[in-house]
Structure 1
């Protein structure tokens, strides 16, 4: 059976971190919300699970993954589950927890990216909190990008197996997620990240190596890859961007 991925249609968002793992592994999966209602898919099918009064393990919100009768919510949790099945997790069981910790740290940064354009309330429009967003984005560029990406740079440099991967000596879902994180930062903050490769050479090199992977390259060039847009987590508002 194909994996069923549930996430909002029309944006990459947090679902993209899961899509990249599925695409890299060449896994058979259905992006349910993007399917047709007549086929039992679409956003309605996703909301039916979330709002179910009989499902024993309902997810709080997308993304979540269905594998047979099992529903797995939350990006890091999904990838922790899929990693061994897709060959994208460290073979050393102890290192799987290291990978999970790194993925959770990525999730922390993604949440802060979201808060640059929605610092006051998620239910308010960006235009209703633009002044606060400018303050939050400036702090994010000045302090939080260096804090997080500087940490990931050190993780790569100090990997005892070499700086080609975030953990262990082979590709994992964490490497794919770093690729997506860097892609999103370049889109949202092109001015702030224009010297990114010089400041964080190992992180940028990892991004480039992931993009060279055949399945990832094919996916990025395909119609399956939804372009970044101002409905997702990574949004480009010129007034929030500045030189680092």
Structure 2
């Protein structure tokens, strides 16, 4: 039996830690979501500060694997991908997965900035006017720019397995499922208006959700509900009056 991984992330949101949770769930490996337990927040802050290892992370998530600490979502996923067959063995394939994951991270950051376009140190209500302008641009220009790209990558994949990289599922597929789920929560009307524009991504998300371990996780209390403290937030006023182009 392997020693359980220890995941350090905020206990009340999906956030960036959810991309790591999905990989751990799909791999079927034991892990502890430390901050959800007694004294967990104190332990998380100690790890972020560096602890006895002299390691300091800018922010969670951080994953402990034995004596090893790994920070940054894409870095953690690259580590887990190699360990648990969630990425190709060849270096080129691993780098391609990491490149796609970093592009996903770019879009996640832009989605977050729709509700905090000025400062993360201010409440949404203090920047709501700017948020409406930012959200409109994100919905009309950036969502199709990113998702058109991911759809083209999927269609061009020579692996012919219906996955993003090669012929089998990778952590990139899990992350795209999470990205699409977050976008549908934050911008339900916008994403409905784009219905049918990205058929490959829609099929991929459905296949990920139907995988036995992922389906069990999504139905469990371990899967936190979307909420307005998270990366993806639903403010109806940010969709009001937005007109999108359904087709490229």
Q: Which bin holds the TM-score, normalised by the shorter protein?
A: over 0.9
Instruction: Give the stretch that moved more between structures: 161-170 or 140-149.
Output: 161-170
1:98 is matched with 96
Q: 2:167 aligns with which of 147, 152, 169?
A: 169
1:44 is matched with 42
1:54 deviates by 4.3
1:119 is matched with 117
1:68 deviates by 1.2
TM-score (norm 1): 0.96
1:194 is matched with 192
1:93 deviates by 2.4
CA contact (8 A) 1:165 1:206 kept: yes
TM-score (norm 2): 0.94
1:24 is matched with 26
For residue 228 of structure 2, give the secondary structure of its aligned residue in structure 1.
coil
1:53 deviates by 6.2
1:55 deviates by 2.9
| Runs of 5+ unmatched residues, structure 2 | none
Whole-Å separation in 2 of the counterparts to 1:52 and 1:117: 31
Output the aligned Cα RMSD.
1.1
Deviation by residue 1:104-140 (Cα, 9 ceiling, x = unmatched) = 0000000000000000000100000000000000000
User: Which consecutive aligned stretches of 4+ in structure 1 deviate over 6 angstroms post-superposition?
Assistant: none
Whole-Å separation in 2 of the counterparts to 1:88 and 1:5: 18
| Runs of 5+ unmatched residues, structure 1 | none
2:15 is matched with 13
Whole-Å separation in 2 of the counterparts to 1:196 and 1:76: 28
CA contact (8 A) 2:161 2:168 kept: no
Whole-Å separation in 1 of the counterparts to 2:67 and 2:243: 49
1:91 deviates by 2.5
Instruction: Give the stretch that moved more between structures: 47-56 or 207-216.
Output: 47-56
2:237 is matched with 239
1:163 deviates by 6.0
